[in-house]
Chains A and B, each alone.
Chain A
């Protein structure tokens, strides 16, 4: 597959995120370039390989091909550093401690509460147990968990699927702000209009191949 729409920064510098021949036996090859502040939205039927694609970019599933961040090859970056710079938020959030606050680094908790307030999450939620969260609350908190890392790249898998329209708008408002500050975003979405609202390039995934929509 050829590169759909190469997006180079003016001056011919390296793109923020560059994928070339990214594949594994289940999906690909994928080629994609994103400049700082640019977003790509991917839609397509279930099982078409959207999540697989994001997991390969995050290096959570085995894959081959070239991936680079600001010109630095992914294989030269430690896996932990890589995922901190390009965190992946799964469609179904995972939790590993009992209380919500324990899922945030102590020095990021204040920032997390602030973001929470902007998406309608009460500050008390952070002090409560994960068990008491609704699916929508979990989803917003999972996105905030990634946002407080202040990453240059963010990979979101159906971030607003379990959210009501108001919360969806609030999350999108935060994402748009981050895009303006230079975040590069790849978002998998079933929402036809989300790509447009985020000003994202739109791709369609079919049979584990991606093409511009």
Chain B
């Protein structure tokens, strides 16, 4: 079974639905029509560009090409994670933290999938590697930014309690453990929701895409299950790395709370 190809006309008809949103905004004076149209146009341009770039990269069959694409995507994800929290580290700390979280979580989970479950030939085949990295980065971005935001927002909010404990001789680890727990807990909620809702409330995007592209539903489901496991692992791993890294930067060799390292 081959996928049904979409013509530009098919897409234009669907685009009329976006026009409906814009008209709604004008009529209700939501002041959103510009934003809706710009976002739609941006989405089209970005995706078309990515489509052509991926076609090029897939055709090159070269590990370096795959690596470049993966690195660019990861760098953008790391930047987004570091930019998200309201409270930020001074200097490059936030970026370094999120970059290490993104790198480790992505390499471990994508590597695991490529070397054990999917096993394409060659293993760096861009068709698989880039697609997997793209999906994993979505989860990593979510859990990483939630973690960093709860850590840095929480430490400022909980400062009196944390310092009171330190001042009475508690270790930094003891005093900040609830903060760490809360940050990691929060970051895992989206993936838990996603897994519980999968197939019942929502049909996950990947699965839907594969079914639309002509794949047998049960085969599509198997892929989706694998991906969910990868996403769950990547979320936890990112959160763990970023939370512990942030804690380390928030203290020093004398177990002080170093809020002066925040902006």
Binding site for B on A (CB under 8 A): 58-62, 79-85, 87-90, 92-96, 142, 145-146, 149
Contact = CB atoms under 8 A, between A and B. Distances in A.
Contact of B167 (A81, A83, A92): A83
Given A80-B169, A145-B168, A149-B169, A96 B256 contact: no
A85 B168 CA distance: 8
A172 B235 CA distance: 54
A60 B167 contact: yes
B180 to A, nearest CB: 13
Contacts of B256: 59-62, 79
Given A59-B254, A60-B257, A80-B255, A95 B166 contact: no
B199 interface: no
Contacts of B254: 59, 62, 79
A142 to B, nearest CB: 7
A60 B158 CA distance: 16
A94 B163 contact: yes
Contact of B162 (A58, A96, A145): A96
A90 B252 contact: no
Contact of B169 (A62, A87, A95): A87
Contacts of B170: 80
Choose among B255, B258, B260 the residue with the greatest number of A CB atoms under 10 Å from its CB.
Answer: B255
10 contacts: A59-B254, A60-B166, A80-B170, A89-B167, A90-B167, A92-B160, A95-B160, A96-B162, A96-B178, A146-B168
A58 B178 CA distance: 23
B164 A96 contact: yes
State the 3 A-B residue pairs at the shortest beta-carbon distance, nearest first.
A84-B169, A94-B164, A94-B160
Given A84-B168, A149-B169, A94 B162 contact: yes
B217 interface: no
A149 B165 CA distance: 13
A179 B119 CA distance: 74
